[in-house]
Amino acid sequence: MTEREPFSIHAKVRTYELDPNGHLNHAVYHQYGEIARTELAVAAGVTEGLIKQGIGIVMLESHIRFRRELRFGDEATVSCVARFEEDKKVFWMDNVITKLDGTVSAEIESTLGLMDLDKRKLVPGPMERIRDAGVDLDLLRGS
């Protein structure tokens, strides 16, 4: 069995995304990560499956490590994989932003949870909830 490539999107740096130093503004790296997380969630069926249960995904924390700058016209892939641990109320989604030449530009680790949209509280067992919603866990985990 061959290992699946992680889910990814394509990004191209536009002029209005630059900061005064001529490289991609720090907040835009986070936006690229959010676009990849959202597209992965939609592709795997997370959003639709959970909303039917009255549950939504919420961002609890996001941390970025900048490795190499992106400049106007640079193109990159933004990968996204989910990580789960048993008995945790949270899970993680990791992004790697990689230039087309293979240079890693940034790494983002996001801590997420599932929130009951009526009670506005985190629900336990995110992996089980996501699996019960009919989600493709292999696609989420990149395996």
Tens digits of residue pLDDT in 85-117: 988 999 999 999 999 999 999 999 999 999 999
In a domain, 3, yes or no: no
In a domain, 18, yes or no: yes
In a domain, 99, yes or no: yes
Domain of residue 24, CATH code = 3.10.129.10
Residue 134's pLDDT band (cuts 50, 70, 90): confident
In a domain, 87, yes or no: yes
Residue 136's pLDDT band (cuts 50, 70, 90): confident
> CA–CA separation, 38 vs 80, rounded Å?
10
What domain range is 29 assigned to? Answer: 8-130
- What is the tally of structural domains in the chain? 1
Q: How far is CA 84 from CA 76, 81, 121, 130, 138, in A?
A: 26, 10, 19, 11, 12
Looking at residue 46, its pLDDT comes to: 83
Alpha carbon 123 to its chain's center: 20
In a domain, 109, yes or no: yes
Tens digits of residue pLDDT in 5-48: 899 999 999 999 999 999 999 999 999 999 999 999 999 888 77
In a domain, 136, yes or no: no
In a domain, 1, yes or no: no
